[in-house]
Amino acid sequence: IVVEGLNALPGISCITRKGAFYAFPNVSKTGWKAKKLASALLEDAGVALIGGPDFGVLGEGYIRLSYANSEENILRALERIEAFLKK
Question: What confidence category does residue 4 fall into, taking pLDDT thresholds of 50, 70 and 90?
Answer: very high
Q: Residue 19 maps to which CATH number?
A: 3.90.1150.10
Q: What are the residue ranges of helices labelled H in the chain?
A: 2-7, 34-40, 71-85
Q: Count of domains in the chain? A: 1
In this predicted model, what pLDDT tens digit does every residue of 24-79 receive, in sequence order? 999 999 999 999 999 999 999 999 999 999 999 999 999 999 999 999 999 999 99
Return the sign of the alpha-carbon dihedral for residues 61, 6, 41, 52: negative
Domain span including residue 32: 2-85
What pTM was computed for the model?
Answer: 0.92
pLDDT in tens, 65-80: 999 999 999 999 999 9
Whether the CB-CB separation of 50 and 6 falls below 8 Å is answered with: no
CA dihedral 54, 46, 5, 72 (to 10 degrees): 120
Q: Is 38 in a helix, a strand, or coil?
A: helix
pLDDT at 18: 85
H/E element, 65 = strand 63-66
